Amino acid sequence: MKMEDMPLSGPDNTKLEALVHDIYSELVEDACLGLCFEVHRAVKQGYFFLDETDQESMKEFEIVDQPGVDIFGQVYNQWKNKECECPNCKRLIAASRFAPHLEKCLGMGRNSSRIANRRLASNNNMSKSESDQEDNDDLNDNDWSYGAEKKARKRKSDKNQNSPRRSKSIKHKNGELGSSVSSEPYKYNYNTGISYETLGPDEVRSLLTTQCGVISEHTKKMCTRSQRCPQHTDEQRRAVRVFLLGPSAPSLPDADTVVESDSFDIPDGQTLMSRLQWEDSPDISPADSASSKASTNHSDSRRPKKKKRPSLGLNSGGGGSLTGGGGSSSSSSQSNISLSTKKKRPKLSAPSISSIYDDLN
Amino acid sequence: MSKESRMRATINQKLTEMGERERLKELLRAKLTECGWKDQMKAHCKEVIKEKGFEHVTVEDLVVEITPKGRALVPDSVKKELLHRIRAFLAQHAT
């Protein structure tokens, strides 16, 4: 900067200041002239006075500037304190609440039908789930009303097919609807993630089979995204599993290695044992037959596809077997996890299997 | 003096050539409209026209009536900003 910004001392500067002012005056005159031309043209063309009418109308629509009144002269909250009598229920309702009240009162309108449907659904589920729980004491042990929740979820997904708020409700109930595919009965707080301290070991295991589960440093909560969430690496996931489930925890499911049957390369006492146990399983209740079938498929596909993790072999061997409700809990739990991790693609079967086993255990 | 007038000529030339003059003009116009100066002036014009009879009003009439008032009515903030910008330009480009 060669010159100063402010008009200051020195002959040069005064001259410059004069120059500055001259330029400024020129600009202002230019603006005025422009305005004059504009107005003159408007007058000559006849559109200058268009916004003026007779005096009376002008007075009528003058801008009002009084307090308590808007510029049109209308009182702003005139109807706020008025109450109307509902023709249906004969109550006195405030004017601003009148329309929504009428909607609900008469039972017409989008919202009221949706609410009614939901209430019906939940009522049915309540009555049904109670009867279920009386039959099975075992079911009571685990998380609340697994059966009811399953049915409720199913019902809700049916009922809300056509309602305009469907996407919203799905978003809200992401913990339920979204994971109805992997219907696991754990306390799911979608917004804030899961705190691993509040969960039991079974829940943790079932959680870790479907979710990333990496514990955030800041919030101490487990990541609720999928197994392949980009925020966390597989190493982290493995570390979390080791941390939560012990050193013998099953390692991570890898999407590529859906069926990782390296087990058969590693003969292990436990593998043999668990396989023996598995062979017993077809005798047991039909509820398990589905799971045992799945396990059959699983162990049949022995081809060592991708030997990414040799450690996986142990667990896949364990996974090859499913105990029918009995057997060592550790191996069964491990098998649960590895099975469900293996069966990542046909997602429907695995989580339901693990949850069945959770209930039985 | 001629030196000065030469300098002035140079600066004016530069102003125009670099487009700064146009920019300043636009800036001024926008600011005047924003602050209500234009509406004020229009109202004044109406009075003048009604006075003179709008059939026969000429540009000259208007100019003579409007310009002094217009110059006076420019708000201070607008004036200051323009002066500031002009000074900045001079500071950058004066030899």
Residue B67 in contact with partner chain A when CB distance is under 8 A = yes
B35 touches chain A (CB under 8 A): no
pLDDT of residue A311: 46
Which tens digits make up the pLDDT trace of A142-156? 555 555 555 545 555
Which pLDDT belongs to residue A96?
82
Contact across the interface for A48 and B54, Cβ inside 8 Å: yes
Q: Any CB–CB contact under 8 A between A4 and chain B?
A: yes
3-class secondary structure, B80: helix
Per-residue pLDDT at A133 exceeds 80: no
Task: Give the A:B interface size as CB pairs under 8 Å.
Answer: 94
> What is the average pLDDT across A313-326?
43
Share of chain A above pLDDT 90, in %: 6
pLDDT band, residue A135 (cuts 50/70/90): low
How many residues appear in chain A?
A: 361
pLDDT at A246 over 60: yes
For A103-117, the pLDDT digits (tens) are 888 888 888 888 888
Shortest distance between the Cα of B54 and any Cα of chain A, in A, equals 7
pLDDT the model gives residue A244: 82
pLDDT of A358 reads 59
Q: Which residues of chain A make contact with B90, given a CB cutoff of 8 A?
A: 3, 16, 19-20
Task: Decide: A157 and A180 in contact? Cβ < 8 Å.
Answer: yes
pLDDT above 60: residue A296: no
End-to-end CA distance of chain B, in Å? 16
Contact of A63 with chain B, judged by CB distance below 8 Å, is answered with no
Task: Note the pLDDT tens digit of each residue in B21-49.
Answer: 999 999 999 999 999 999 999 999 888 88
Domain of residue B74, CATH code: 1.10.246.140
CB of B75 within 8 Å of a chain A CB? The answer is: no
A60-74, A87-101, A273-287, range with greatest mean pLDDT:
A87-101
The total of structural domains in chain B comes to 1
pLDDT band at A14 (very low <50, low <70, confident <90, very high): confident
Tell me the per-residue pLDDT of A198-239, one tens digit each, with 9 for 90 and over. 777 777 778 788 888 888 777 778 888 888 888 888 888 888
- Rounded Cα distance between A26 and A177, Å, is 71
- Higher-pLDDT residue of A78 and A110 is A110
Residue whose C-alpha is closest to residue A330's, from B39, A112, A321: A321
Give percent of chain A with pLDDT exceeding 70.
46
A220-228: list long-range contacts, CB under 8 Å, 24+ apart: A220/A195, A220/A196, A221/A192, A221/A193, A221/A194, A221/A195, A221/A196, A222/A193, A222/A194, A222/A195, A222/A196, A223/A193, A224/A188, A224/A190, A224/A193, A224/A194, A227/A252, A227/A253, A227/A255, A227/A341, A227/A344, A228/A255
The whole-angstrom distance between A65's CA and the closest CA on chain B is 19
User: Which residues in chain A (23-62) have CB-CB distances under 8 A to chain B?
Assistant: 23-25, 27-37, 39-40, 43, 48-49
Q: Is the pLDDT of residue B57 over 50?
A: yes
The whole-number average pLDDT for the span A176-199 is 52
The pLDDT assigned to A276 comes to 54
Q: Which domain holds residue B39?
A: 3-93
Q: Are residues B32 and A30 in contact, defined by beta-carbon separation less than 8 angstroms?
A: no
Mean pLDDT confidence for A254-261: 46
Q: Distance (Å, rounded) from C-alpha A133 to C-alpha A112?
A: 31
